[in-house]
A and B are shown apart, each in its own frame.
Chain A
Amino acid sequence: MGEMSNRKSEALVKTEHLSVRFPLKRESPFSKRRYVNAVSDVSIEIFKGEAFALVGESGCGKTTLADATLGFAAPSAGEVFFNGEKLDIRNKKRLKQQRRSMQKIFQDPASSMNPRFTVARAVAEPLMIRRELGEKRILSKTAEAIESVGLSSGDLDRFVSEFSGGQQQRIAIARALVSGAEYIVCDEPVSALDVSVHAQILNLLMDIQKERGITYMFISHNLASVRKFADRLAIMYLGRIVEYGDAEKVFANPMHPYTRMLIDSVLSLDGGKTAINAPPEANEALQEEQGLYASNDGGCGFRRRCPIGRSECESIKCSLEKVESDHYTECPYAANR
């Protein structure tokens, strides 16, 4: 899909036929090594200043894909580009420089920060590691960052563990902002928090984006939040992108059966008890067992859970096909279901 050139803005992050695999433990020293394809053949573009969402269930490879764009996971095939330049994981020196414009916010703020650090130390750490600024500059930048996330500079001397989950996530956001990153990966930033705090954190992230023009990779499994948050998105299943493109277009016209399944899983305040009375998915156990290996055996990875699956799906070679401009799906049968 090389025809995104009608977009004016340029891609900040780009992957080309990216695959990442991890070796499995061998059953015996003589058996052939087996691999898990955490990410297979993924080509995406994330444009400057947009919020790009990566959606899928746990174990589908979203975190590995995000890590590959940060140079944390080595590709087994394909390439990653950041700002037009190739991310070479072996060139440690260059990678270190490139990483200065990248940051990551984790799901659980309590375990991603040292509870015995003061807020000041937790936030200032990226600046201290760089050793470019003097103490005074670091202090003023830290105070500025902590105020931009809605806390006060009086909180700087308190310990990270003294704060509530939502406040700790704010501190984690301040830490990502302090070094002036252009690209921030938010890995399920609200999943560990209360529903009532979700809105506060997501609004804060949106405000920051508006102010500073940051590019987000937003990882989530909740499509309702994604629709409000994201400009573009990719739906991921077993390491492959099954639907991709402009968020509003995908929601207005979801093509892949997996996308529809995710949309149907969102609970609302309309359905009441009928919402969960639908028969549970027949092949849940299968889903969990096949998880790791399915992407090796040819055919569509989703076929065993698919409500519109047919015999051709066993051997089909999936690739993203265009539905409309900036909307692609892997399922060839989605249109005439």
Chain B
Amino acid sequence: MNVFSVKNLRVAFPTPRGIIRAVEGIDLSIERGECLALVGESGCGKSVTSLASLKLLDPSVSIVKADEHTILGENMLDKGEREMESIRGKKASMIFQDALSALNPVMSVGKQLDEVFTLHFHLKKREAKARSIEALRSVGIENPEARYRAFPHELSGGMRQRVLIAMAFASNPALIIADEPTTALDVTVQKQILSLLSEMRRKNGTALLLISHDLSVVYSMADRIAVMYSGRIVEEAPAEELIRNPLHPYTKGLMGAVVRIDDKKGRFTQIPGGLPDPANKPEGCYFAPRCAEAAEKCGKCRPKLAYTGGSHYVRCFMHGGERDGRNEQ
């Protein structure tokens, strides 16, 4: 059974400059214990997708629509805010990029962890404390009894991220969404946090939706990778397959942007240009203006996500893509 599934997810923000279509018809599904990674540049809509997955977007400023949206087989489409509160943190939880702003600065980390147990499992304070200390120990924090009383600012960045991971795993959820969990950290700490995350996941059999802009981070964790560009998935494949055999020019560009340690001094490989203006997207394929392989057709109509075999999908006219009528205005 799918732990998480969403079909044709669309998110738009009405602004004075016009409607910004942040997400334009995304299909995602994650099986039990699987890790799916969503990769793309800032502004491509990956964080909006993650927020919409737990219905965390403010309805007064956003329009969210989907044909299907389930967590553990349960339909999320008609759930209200009250019902969502009992799902978030219990069945599905989230790890944010910036641990300092995700934690409450005037509350000790222990008290914040306790909330998971008192709110979702109705435990007494003392039982909750014991469970919290256990949770802190499970993420490799030494002397958890003392750390229980620490405030977020007293901990280092890596330590704070560990606390967030402890919090996310505390209720043993079926799904965890990690939005750039290591971007704010040093390289040495990044590796420690990633290995902690994958170990915790293995132990608990948790499904993970990992969101990142860095393919090298994603490749070290994911079973499947979906590459997102300007609100749409442009390529999706099992991790090995995607890295060995990238088809979409954007995926190739992202791979080129990963600097290798054995590269000698010289210029960096760059993808020219930037994302299109979200309020004014190009008529054809969104990547066409930056694409070295673009043909005439690419500037005129938008390609569909096409199956190329071996559960490898790509949205490109050069690789069997057909014209997509679904999302054209």
Contacts and interface: CB of A to CB of B under 8 A. Distances in A.
B188 A223 contact: no
A203 B267 CA distance: 6
Contacts of B259: 198, 222, 224-225, 227-228
B195 A262 contact: no
A271 B194 CA distance: 14
A56 B214 CA distance: 21
A13 interface: no
A203 B269 CA distance: 9
B254 interface: yes
Interface in B230-273: 239-240, 243, 253-255, 257-261, 263-272
A199 B215 contact: no
Given A194-B42, A221-B187, A265-B187, A227 B221 contact: no
Nearest to B143: A285
B217 interface: yes
B299 interface: no
B79 interface: no
B258 A285 contact: no
Interface string A275-287: 1111111001100
Contact of A227 (B189, B214, B264): B264
Contact of A199 (B142, B240, B261, B270): B270
A276 B221 contact: yes
A277 to B, nearest CB: 7
Contacts of A284: 140, 158, 189, 192
Contact of B270 (A203, A223, A224): A203
How many chain B residues sit at the interface, stated as a range, is 35 or more
A203 B268 CA distance: 6
B43 interface: yes
Nearest to A285: B142
A228 B266 contact: yes
A32 interface: no
Interface in A230-282: 230-231, 247-248, 251, 261-263, 265-269, 271-273, 275-281
B264 A228 contact: yes
A182 B257 CA distance: 29
A229 B255 CA distance: 19
A78 to B, nearest CB: 27
A247 B194 CA distance: 28
B53 to A, nearest CB: 22
Nearest to A207: B267
Interface string B182-217: 000011111110111010000000000000011111
B100 interface: no
Contacts of B271: 196, 199
A272 B243 contact: yes
Contacts of B51: none
Given A276-B194, A288-B156, A247 B187 contact: no
A140 interface: no
Interface string B137-169: 000111100000000000011110000000000
A152 interface: no
Given A273-B198, A288-B158, A288-B159, A262 B213 contact: no
Contact of A58 (B186, B192, B261): B186
Given A268-B216, A269-B243, A276-B191, A247 B257 contact: no
Contact of A281 (B43, B188, B216): B188
B306 to A, nearest CB: 24
Given A164-B43, A194-B42, A280-B195, A199 B269 contact: yes
A272 B220 contact: yes
Contacts of A199: 257, 268-271
A335 interface: no
Contact of B213 (A57, A195, A221): A195
A285 B258 CA distance: 29
Contact of A268 (B188, B192, B239, B258): B258
Given A228-B263, A265-B191, A273 B220 contact: yes
B85 interface: no
B254 A195 contact: yes
B45 to A, nearest CB: 14
Contact of A248 (B156, B198, B214, B264): B264
Contacts of A277: 195, 198
Contacts of A262: 187-188
A272 B240 contact: yes
A231 B254 CA distance: 26
Given A195-B258, A196-B257, A269-B219, A224 B188 contact: no
Contacts of A197: 41, 274
A39 B191 CA distance: 26
A266 B192 CA distance: 12
A284 B192 CA distance: 9
Contacts of B268: 198-199, 202-203, 225, 228
Contacts of A49: none
A157 to B, nearest CB: 18
A224 B261 contact: yes
B265 A229 contact: yes
Nearest to B147: A285
Interface pairs A-B: 4 shortest CB-CB: A199-B270, A199-B268, A267-B216, A224-B259
Interface of A: 57-59, 164-167, 194-200, 202-203, 206, 221-225, 227-231, 247-248, 251, 261-263, 265-269, 271-273, 275-281, 284-285, 288, 291
Given A200-B270, A267-B220, A272-B220, 14 more contacts: A57-B186, A58-B186, A194-B41, A194-B42, A195-B257, A197-B41, A222-B259, A224-B263, A265-B190, A267-B190, A269-B215, A269-B258, A277-B198, A285-B140
24 contacts: A57-B188, A164-B42, A165-B42, A167-B274, A194-B213, A195-B213, A196-B270, A196-B271, A198-B268, A199-B268, A199-B270, A199-B271, A224-B261, A225-B259, A229-B265, A265-B187, A266-B187, A267-B214, A267-B216, A271-B220, A276-B221, A279-B195, A280-B191, A288-B159
